[in-house]
Structure 1
Amino acid sequence: MQSPDFRRLFECSPGLYLALLPDAPRYTIVAVSHAYAQATMTRPDEIVGRGLFEVFPDNPGDPEATGVRHLRASLERVRATGAADAMAVQKYDVRRPEAQGGGFEERWWSPLNSPVFGPDGHLAYIVHRVEDVTEFVRLQQQGVEREKLTDELRQHAEAMEAGVFLRARQLQQVNERLREANAEVSRLLEKTRELDRLKSRFFANVSHELRTPLTLILGPVRRLLASQPPPAWQAELERVEPNAQLLLHHVNDLLDVARLEERALRPAYAQVDLAGLTRLVAAHFDSPAQEQDLRWHVLLPSALPALVDPSKLQRVLINLLSNAFKFAPRGGTVRLALRQESDHAVFEVADNGPGIPPAWREAVFERYGRLHEGAHARSGSTGLGLAIAREFVLLMGGSIRVDEAPEGGALFVVQLPLCAPAGMPVAEAAPEQAGLAEDAQTIVRALRAEVAREATPPLGEGPLVLVVEDNADMSAFIREALRAEYRVAAAYDGKQGLQQALALKPDLVLTDMMMPFMSGEQLVQALRSRREFDLTPIVVLTAMADAEARLRLLREGAQDYLIKPFAVEELRARVGALVRHKQAAEALRHSEESWRTLFSHAAEGIFIADREGRYTEVNDAGCALLGRPREAIVGRTMADMLPPEEAGRLPAARAEVLAGGIDDREWTMQRGDGSRVSVEVSSRMLPDGRWIAFARDVSERRRRLEAAEEMAEELERRVAKRTEQLRALAAELEAAESRERRKIARDLHDDLGQTLAAARIRLAELCHDAPAGVRAKAREIAALVDQADRFTRSLAAQLAPPVLYELGLLPALEWLAEEMGRQFNLLVIVIDDAQPKPLSQEARSIVYRAVRELLINVAKHAQVNKASLTLRREDAMLLARVADAGVGFAPAAPGEAPAQGLGLRSVKERLAFIGGALELRSLPGRGVEAVLRVPLALHKQGGTNS
């Protein structure tokens, strides 16, 4: 069916309609019905594309004309409220064409303005509908008796009168709703202002609090650098100092934002040579320009005296130049120019980067906005630089705008008055700017860490790890951490990382999230779209603690993620486990390929069928045996290959196979050309429920039977071998994780615990011998140290509870129940049947962690403060039952597995490693019962009682 022509329907409708863009104050006409054009004595092709009030102005001969004012107010209400707006009857004269004598003709209208929203929910158009009530109004004014009208005119007038009254009633209702909405908007506006004030105070407080620890970091680091430490220490300190300085710069930005919010900043005017100050700022960018091979143009007059705030102007220029250097491509162009226009100084900062689309040119100056989100996003930006630049320019009475540069990228233009406002104090000379020079050096160092770099080839020995990170310092840090065990290559943006991955085929990819040209998420998607990277693990480094974003990355193909900041030991452990897993998976794939080769080249016909008996695979020998192409066999059953007299033997053969036996029978089968062949078929069921059949000519019965038996045994060995490899890999991963947990717990307990103990001893002296004021503070700090010590011991115990390894499972679970009460206020009742329950150390650890995961789920989701844990022995099995009477969940549909999160899936997988299983039962409002079934170690060495 052909789609209707909606534009044609609109234009030919009998009503009087205009379609307008909501581009106030112009309100461009984009469509007009023929009836409207006829009523207003216009032509559609003459008014479409023009502004509403340009086409329909007020009658200049009527000094009391209000049509434009009232109509504009109605359209503004539609834009503000998103609701239709009915207007009272309006006098709005229309212009007669010159062919009809020109001038204006008196008209009366009953208008209704309605919003039309686009797919994104934003206002796309406004439909302006009117009814011409001129005749009705004129008749009322002239007092003509209704009886003198014709029936048709009377009906038309009555209909118009009813419409006028209805519109008046609607207008009254709309006005009432508008008053209520205005009151609500005023209340929300005041609430928003209060939130802004609270936010400003919060940023100011946080900035002040952060400056103290940063000072205590920078001071000792600089002293150590000045003391000429060993080369290895010096390299680490030289990495710490600029990054701490960069953090201090960001803190200062936050503090400036808070001061700007509170109107606490004032310009400090001084007599300045703008050319000299600009030349000083530009000098800091000479080295980055050389490193990026940029054409760096600085166009300045010999001198340009002015009264400005030099510190704020320097901050403005530094922020604009750092932005230009970030987005200019290698080998590109950056231009800084200064000139005088009348009584203003004009600065221009231009580049040939990606530029800024017109729709973003106001948004880039908003606080916390990110320039070039998506493809060109960089991780080093706080979104404050351009916002602060604009605020500083406005403080000095100037203006700033962004446009398209002649070079092709972004052009920032700053205009500043050369004189200070009247009455403002002015210093005779600019103060020393040493601090600002240090700030400029900080920005330049950060810029060097972010600018595009050439990818580095692999260095070191071992499996190949590709590090994709746009910050040079972070990239070097990660590579140094991994270089002892792996070959490491580096890329500095997502696009470069994809090229490196395609060229090097790494064993693991470690990628940042926010990078230029291609984000980490886009890199994951690009790699997962290529089959050659199916087995390549991807680890994502992210500073975002957003659970939804992490789950999305895992679903899109990332194997793991690390949240910055992270421990080097954790990075090495996760990389090591994933690389070993890939190597094992590649070995399995090689084994599968070997089996596929063997299958394809076997001399006997091999048929593999699904559970229903439909062939899914057949080798070349099978096709030759039946004289049929592969597509004529796949999807069919054996019954389709037999003559009618043979079909009666199938049920017995099927029963034999379903009973677990091997069915050896001779069959007469039909070939593709209609001939028949006598074959012996050996059929059996595979462990996964599929069928496999080996077919051979009876004439070579013995030889082919032996080959078929060898093939079947080889298949069983391969399946068993793959299964054992998977189990061994799973056990290795579980053991590695357990060792890592115990190591981390020991480190927490021994190192951090001893440190806290030493702190407690030293504080004890202050608590007794120091002056009263110091003593009180020392006691507060001592209390915090005690709290940290308790938390450290609790965390270490939860990671690897000593009681589990020293006393057994039951004491560990009783301790866990006490911990759940302390941490989550969850009362856990432990019940044990007192029977011996020997378990291996691995099984005890897995059961303990599974119970802990289940109890945490109860504490977080069940909405109860009580649960039970029951341990009992049934024959050779341990049954651990965790139950609550909470909200529960709806059972899954028949044939469907219940919805389970990552935690429960992990529990089931770990239990499967030791032959165990997890059962979940629940109904909404009746709580959840989880039962763990674990085989006991009755005949194994190393088993201990629970």
Structure 2
Amino acid sequence: MDKASPDFKNIIKSLPGLYLIIEPNAPKYTIVCASDAYTRQTLTKQDEIKGKGLFEVFPDNPEDKNANGESNLSASLLRVLETRSQDVLPVQRYDIRRPQNMGGGFEERYWTPTNTPVLDEEGKVSYIIHQVEDVTERVKLKQTGEELDAKLVTYNHKLSEAHAQLKESNRRKDIFLATLAHELRNPLAPIRSGVELLKMDVNIMELLPTMERQISHLEKLIDDLTESSRISRGKLNLNLQELEVSKLIEELVDSLKKTSPGELDNLELVLPEEELWIKADPVRISQVINNLINNSQKFTPNDKTIRLTISQDNGNVLLCIKDEGVGVEKENLSQIFEMFVQVDKPGMHQGLGLGLSISKMLIEMHKGTIKGESEGLDKGLEVSIELPLIEAPKEIDKNDQDAKGSNNLKILIADDNVDAAYILKLALEKFNNCVELAKNGEEALIRAKEFRPNLILMDLGMPVKDGHQAATEILEKPWGKDISIVALSGWGQEEDKERTKKLGFKGHLVKPVSLKQIQEQISNLFEV
């Protein structure tokens, strides 16, 4: 190839492929000329690269620490000089420099280079033809395909996991519904039998304890269901107070032993010598401890011990309930705080398997932690709770007011459940109250105007006119503005309570409600 030939460079420039002609003067490899297709693809110009060294024009990307395009190409060119034969490289990443008018920096590119020697008459290398093919799009498409394949594998794995979880959830749902039906039928059976016996003029005092127990069990089932829903939806508010833990637990255990004589004889209470204080909702913490004691009681024989220990650990109050019961297999330990887990064998144990799940959610609402430990089957279970320790308050209000019984009040009960209203009427009349009934909101409005009660116990979901509307109209009347209205309803979500509060209700009791709860509400409203 004659350098002096006027057609030499024009021929190279016109070639349709990507060609670069360089001199064999290693390590510079001076650029002689290039095809126009090459300069277009490499974002360069003929007059800017001619006469310059190959790696001066095309250096490695300094921002890519793994860049090896320059070293690989240099090695290939040296092989051409040594062997005087063609050298083909596999696909190489070799980024090119962008002109300043295009933003500068480097642009990611992939090439397949072929370096071919041009020999003179003596067999010496006079030029090297550097031919490349830009395979950037092909490589990126392949990478995208591989990424998509990898994502598909991941998605398939996640889909399989989701399917397995849905299958497991569906299985638990079926078991839960079967257990729910079983648990609801259990207390209803003796209650129905008790009602039948009452018709036969049987001694009512013999039946009452059994019926009360079964009603309490029904209340617990319903409370657990509504409680778990409210907590999971963030609808439960805490009434935080400064509490001395030992006192709270002692009172709870004492109450449990009084209400269930002989059932907690195997419960040991280990208290610290010093007072330990927390900021918590006393009702909710008592609920958690009660749940844990009940759980241990279910799975621990009467001749085995349940130990409740309170201590201090690293700035926290530590409550541990350890039993010598059936224990938990280690692989199942992580599941004990999940909903409905214990219902895998419906009917084996009383309850819906919500107690530990609710306990976990309540403790986490108090910024605490709860965990379970067991060495395996028949080796017992230990549940530990940690709650932040606080300093003892400077002044402690010890003037707790006991709930007082009602006396000589005029009370209107508005409820479309005539039987429930009548029974409540009989109970309230035992406390020397004058009680009247209304079976819908419209009738409540008429009765209230005539009767002028001190208190209205108002159901919300009544026909003709609901409790919300009836209460609003009563409180708007000059004769009704001072009447205390308390909701008595099965609607017990936080939004239900917030609504009645805004309407001017003085309280909101959720059915089923005990006479004690009503008396406490009356005591809070009236000086009786």
- TM > 0.5: no
- Please state which structure has a larger fraction of its residues in helix: 1
Q: Report which of the two structures shows the higher radius of gyration computed on alpha carbons.
A: 2
Return the structure number with greater relative CO, CA threshold 8 A, min gap 6.
Answer: 2
For normalisation by structure 1, the TM-score amounts to 0.24
